[in-house]
Amino acid sequence: MPPVSVQRTADYSENPRRADATSGRGASTRLEHTALVLLASALVFVVLFWGLGTPTFWDPDEAHYAETSRELVAAGDWWAPYYNEQPFFDKPILFHQLQGAAMVAFGPTEFASRIVPALAALALIAITVWFGALTVSRPVGITAGLLLAASPGVFALSRYAILDTTFTAFMFGGAVLLTVAALRDRPRLQWPGYVLIALAVLTKGPLAFVLCGLTLLLASIASADARRRLLGLRWLLGLCLVVALSAPWFIYMYLRFRQDFVDGYVLDENLRLYAANRFGNQPRIWFYFQILAAGLLPWTGLVVGRLVDDVRAAIKGERLDTFEILLWAWTAAVVGFFTFSRFKLDHYVFPAAPTLCLLCARAWADVRADPLARRHAGARAGLHLVGPLLVVIGLGCGYFLIARLELPRLAVVVPIAITAAGMLLTAVINVRGRAGGRPPQYPWIALSALLITYAGIILFVMPALEQRKVVPDVARWVAARAGENDRVASYRLNRWNPAFRFYVGRHTNFIDDPREAEAFFASPQPFYCVMRRAAFQEFVAQGVPLTLVYERDGMWATSGRVLWRRRITPEQFVVVTRAR
Task: Give pLDDT tens digits along the chain (580 positions).
Answer: 333 333 333 333 344 444 454 555 666 678 878 889 999 999 999 999 999 999 999 878 999 999 999 999 999 999 999 999 999 999 999 999 999 999 999 999 999 999 999 999 999 999 999 999 999 999 999 999 999 999 999 999 999 999 999 999 999 999 999 999 999 999 999 999 999 999 999 999 999 999 999 999 999 999 999 999 999 999 999 999 999 999 999 999 999 999 999 999 999 999 999 988 877 788 889 999 999 999 999 999 999 999 999 999 999 989 899 999 999 999 999 999 999 999 999 999 999 999 999 999 999 999 999 988 999 999 999 999 999 999 999 999 998 888 778 888 899 999 999 999 999 998 888 766 555 567 888 999 999 999 999 999 999 999 999 999 999 999 999 999 999 999 999 999 999 999 999 999 999 999 999 999 999 999 999 999 999 999 999 999 999 999 999 999 998 876 666 777 666 678 999 999 998 7
d(CA 378, CA 390): 19
Q: Where are the domains of the chain?
A: 46-281, 370-466, 471-578
The two most distant CA atoms of the chain are separated, in Å, by 102
d(CA 499, CA 471): 7
User: Which pLDDT belongs to residue 22?
Assistant: 52
d(CA 145, CA 139): 10
User: Which pLDDT belongs to residue 565?
Assistant: 66
Phi and psi dihedrals of 491, rounded to 5?
Answer: -120, 115
Long-range contacts, 40-47 (Cβ 8 Å, 24+):
40/142, 40/145, 40/146, 40/149, 42/451, 43/146, 43/149, 43/150, 43/447, 43/450, 43/451, 44/122, 44/125, 44/149, 46/451, 46/454, 46/455, 46/458, 47/149, 47/150, 47/154, 47/155, 47/158, 47/454
Closest-CA residue to 43 (of 172, 180, 181, 143): 143
Q: What is the CATH code of the structural domain delimited by 471-578?
A: 3.40.190
Strands 527-532 and 571-578: antiparallel
Q: Are 193 and 177 in contact (CB under 8 A)?
A: yes
Our separate counts of H helices and E strands in the chain read: 27, 7
d(CA 366, CA 310): 13
Residue type, 518: E
d(CA 217, CA 229): 13
Rounded to the nearest angstrom, the gap between the alpha carbon of residue 518 and the centroid of all alpha carbons in its chain is: 42
